[in-house]
Chain A
Amino acid sequence: MNFSDVIGQSFVVKRLKQIIESQRIGHAYLFVGSKGIGKKTIANIFARGIMCKSQGHRPCDLCRSCRQFNSGNHPDVYRVQKGDKSSIGVEQIRNVLEDIHLKPYESSRKVYIIEDAHAMTVQAQNAFLKTLEEPPFFATIILLAEKSSELLPTILSRCQVFRMQRLTREEVCTIIISHFDMPRERAMLFAGLSGGIPGKGLQLAGSQEFNQMRSDVFKFLEEIFDYNDIDKMTQWELFNQYKDRIDEILDMLVIWFRDILSYKETGDSALVINIDKLPVIEKQASLFTIRRIRSIIESIERTRRMLKGNANYQLTIENLLLNM
């Protein structure tokens, strides 16, 4: 994959190409954006570009450096990943600090790609500060992070920051269609749900389980008006069944009520994301009050927060159900 294959992100791509062409190659970059938005894809092209030996367009994908990179064993590329662990610890960063003082083997540069940089512990981030500010002249460090708020201001201060852009619905749709054989209308639906994140769109489009889950959740949402508190409590089963994917379920809930709110406020179906559910959304828009929708969305977000904070799953979900 090269710059010309990247759909969307035109602004980021333009800047990165300029950096490579002008050879104003900095020592610390940070790419920020949600999971699946294309950070790693673009970082790989960029890294290849700054090490490429070609005199023409870089990366050329033909020279020895590019080929080594593409086969995953470039001696001057160092990756840090969190793997199965929940964080990147200080030891992993210390290894970088040791390695970074060794001259490159073959290239004129060495590139360090820190994937999941947002998962660096506070200690790891601190350990990185001085080196991130003034690494040896041949080193370039690229941090990839889902959220910049997880990084210390002192880290951010030392990096050139690239914020990945969310793609338009059309662009995600194009990507989905290029991967899956499906009608445009359906691809558009997933594109809408992806929130502009191609990785998410692809995942949704490709997952049987997701579609099952979506229809289960929607069945619940469509009937919610006929439920009393006890009925709502029994819906716990649904949430229990999909416990591992609760984040996605909460997204679905949020977007559902957001659609109702948006429809209620604008009366315009063009702004509705779950476009295949328009009739139900219309109906519920006439039943729910704005305050009520707001309070439900707030409950959903609170639920998300509590679960991230390791609150008891069942209690938290039941609480949400009662508040819906």
Chain B
Amino acid sequence: MRYTALYRQWRPETFDEVVGQDATIRILKNQIKSNRIAHAYLFCGSRGTGKTSTAKVFAKAVNCLNPIDGNPCLKCEVCQKLSTGSSMDIIEIDAASNNGVDEIRELRDKVKYPPVVGRYKVYIIDEVHMLSTGAFNALLKTLEEPPEHIIFILATTEPHRLPATILSRCQRFNFKRIANKSIVSRLAEIAKRTEIQVEPEALYTIARWAEGSMRDALSLLDQCIGFGGDAVSNEDVLAVLGTADQWFVFAVAENIIEGNVSELFYQVEQLINDGRDVSVFLKDLINHMRNLLVIKVCNDAAQLIDVGEDTFKAYMEQAQKASQERLMRAIDILCAAESEMRWSSQPRVSLEMALVKICRPEQEVTLDALLDRVAKLEQQLEGGVVVKQTSPSRKGARAASKSQAVDGGSTVGKEGGDNGSNDDGGAADAHVWEEVLGIIKKERIALYGFLKDCGFALNEKGMAVLSFPADQQFFMESMDREDNRNFVEKAIEKVVGKQVKVRCVLADQKTARSEPEGKSQNEEIIEKAIDIFGEDFVEIVDD
């Protein structure tokens, strides 16, 4: 027999085979039974949840001569004819393949002809979000006054892309992501009927991975069949997914919880050497940490975590050792790394960085880290930044490059004095900048708009650095056109009396403001210091 993918082979043929959409199915069946059928339906929901399948079942059910509890009987003459696929009465339109203009036009001409075999002619317009505006308009005309014998079923994963005029004319059904338990039972049934042995644990792993999509689940099961041996084991599934075995994930989590950075470096090395996919592993790890967190915060965690008993016990044990803060922090950082990985061509480094970051929180007060930070603070103090609270004042204002240094990042070379790093220098810069802004404001108000939030520093060599807040990249680029730069250079020259070159940079931190009336720099420095040392180690000296 010719092989067909499981998800095609097991497309539901009756409403009863559609799982996980109980409310929707009940209503549709009732409509059939009571013969109260609408003219236009919209089925929406994420992929593989049964939209297209249900549309096809419904199209048969409305025409079936003796429906059984609302289901098409699949035996009567009409059902049989409709099953051939080439039927004239069920017309499936692929709205995405060429935006549907021709089809919808043709549809408008043809709707007036009555059905050939059954009572209704059913148009299934699939992936309807891709219709062009022209096609939507054409469709709307027909939807406004559809002939008695016509039913439209629109299906899409992206209902928000449909015009309101279309939405308002359809009866809408939302197909939900299918619960893991429903997926598992459907998979088990299919496995039984095709005589494939599958470990229960394996079914759960598949369901978890499928994220509510039955198609994804069946597709994965398909790939696992015949892979390991006669029966599909959980290991087979993990191997096909390319995810590390779960005890490895446990071991990594253990080191994260204990802050064992160097062990983590070795584990990443192992991951790479085993040829594992870093982004897949990261996904597993996030899911793992999430489970630990769920156990920490929920009483009935067992309900929320779909795993076997042994695994659940191991989760319970591990969760005991972890603090809620660390788990939340870990999840945050790992998720950020996941999205970063989309850009990076070095997924390994992204992962390593995330792990280091989790294990070395700023609040951490090991002796080493503390010494490290004291050294940094000393440098900063030399640079003229003092951690003490004064009322917000102009004195607190500081040139951009300086506040970056406060970030605690740099050591050698950075505070080397090139940006004018004594107190007077900073204040002077702020003063200069204020005057420059004054000039710009008078003559080029739009340019002033770009510049008013940016930091300013000038060094002896005549280099003026304008640092823009991190979220103002657009302003920076607008500013950096030849004419704008010239204008600003001239303005600065007017104020300081010598020629300067302007450079624009994007500041690392949002603190890079030097506006005199801006938020007190000192407050920010204190926040930073607390960040670095932990609250207990920062004493605020008011003078």
Contact = CB atoms under 8 A, between A and B. Distances in A.
Nearest to B130: A126
Nearest to B355: A265
A109 to B, nearest CB: 11
A103 interface: no
Given A126-B130, A261-B352, A225 B413 contact: yes
Given A11-B239, A322-B505, A18 B353 contact: no
Nearest to A306: B473
A129 B95 CA distance: 10
Contacts of B401: 229, 322
Interface stretch (B66-74, B183-191, B262-270): B262-270
A131 B216 CA distance: 17
Given A229-B416, A258-B353, 14 more contacts: A18-B227, A130-B94, A131-B94, A153-B47, A153-B157, A154-B47, A163-B277, A165-B242, A229-B414, A229-B419, A230-B463, A233-B503, A267-B262, A271-B265
Nearest to B213: A157
Interface stretch (B2-10, B26-34, B300-308, B313-321): B2-10
A292 B273 contact: no
A323 to B, nearest CB: 6
A289 B409 CA distance: 8
A312 B219 contact: no
B98 A308 contact: no
Contacts of A130: 94, 96-97, 126-127
Given A254-B349, A294-B357, A318-B503, A167 B275 contact: yes
Interface string B273-293: 101110010000000000000
Contacts of B348: 195
Interface in A296-324: 297-299, 301, 304-306, 308, 311-312, 315-316, 318-319, 322-323
Interface string A128-162: 11110110010000000001010001101111110
A290 to B, nearest CB: 6
| Shortest beta-carbon contacts, A-B, top 4 | A165-B275, A126-B96, A266-B262, A130-B94
A195 B477 contact: no
Interface of B: 2-5, 8, 46-48, 94, 96-98, 126-127, 129-130, 157, 213, 215-216, 219, 222-223, 225-227, 239-240, 242, 261-262, 265-266, 269, 272-273, 275-277, 280, 340, 342-346, 348-350, 352-353, 356-357, 360, 372, 376, 401, 404, 407-414, 416, 418-419, 459, 461, 463, 465, 473, 476-477, 480, 503-506, 508
Contacts of B46: 153
B342 A149 contact: yes
Nearest to B476: A315
Contact of A255 (B273, B276, B349, B411): B349
A127 B97 CA distance: 4
A195 B348 CA distance: 8
A182 interface: no
B477 A315 contact: yes
B191 to A, nearest CB: 15
Interface stretch (A23-31, A59-67, A69-77, A78-86): A23-31
A149 B97 CA distance: 22
B2 A137 contact: yes
A127 B98 contact: yes
Nearest to B3: A24
Given A11-B239, A18-B226, A289-B376, A255 B413 contact: no
A308 B343 CA distance: 8
A168 B344 contact: no
A246 to B, nearest CB: 11
A318 B412 CA distance: 19
A94 B96 contact: no
Contacts of A306: 473
A261 to B, nearest CB: 7
B97 A230 contact: no
B350 A301 contact: yes
A4 interface: no
Contacts of B407: 295
B5 A27 contact: yes
Nearest to B46: A153
Contacts of A15: 223, 227, 240
A209 interface: no
A274 interface: no
A215 to B, nearest CB: 20
Given A11-B275, A130-B126, A157-B47, A301 B269 contact: no
A123 B97 CA distance: 9
Contact of B275 (A133, A168, A228, A315): A168
B343 A265 contact: no
Given A153-B47, A157-B47, A247-B345, A168 B127 contact: no
A149 B283 CA distance: 13
Contacts of B504: 315
Nearest to A292: B409
A201 interface: no
A319 B505 contact: yes
B531 to A, nearest CB: 11
Interface in A183-207: 195-196
Nearest to B505: A319
B349 A258 contact: yes
B353 A323 contact: no
Contacts of B98: 94, 127
Given A127-B97, A196-B275, A230-B461, A299 B508 contact: yes
Contacts of A265: 261-262, 265, 356
30 contacts: A23-B3, A24-B225, A27-B8, A127-B130, A133-B8, A153-B47, A157-B213, A157-B215, A159-B219, A160-B222, A165-B277, A166-B272, A169-B273, A229-B419, A229-B463, A258-B346, A258-B353, A262-B265, A262-B352, A266-B262, A271-B265, A288-B411, A290-B356, A290-B372, A297-B349, A301-B343, A304-B345, A312-B477, A315-B480, A319-B506
A254 B261 CA distance: 19
Nearest to B269: A271
A42 to B, nearest CB: 14
Nearest to A147: B342
Contacts of B272: 166, 168, 196
A226 interface: yes
B411 A292 contact: yes
A216 interface: no
Contacts of A25: 3
A179 interface: no
A253 B273 CA distance: 22
Contacts of A271: 265-266, 269
Contacts of B219: 157-160
B96 A127 contact: yes
B311 to A, nearest CB: 24
Nearest to A157: B47
A266 B266 contact: yes
B354 to A, nearest CB: 10
Contacts of B48: 157
A287 B276 CA distance: 33
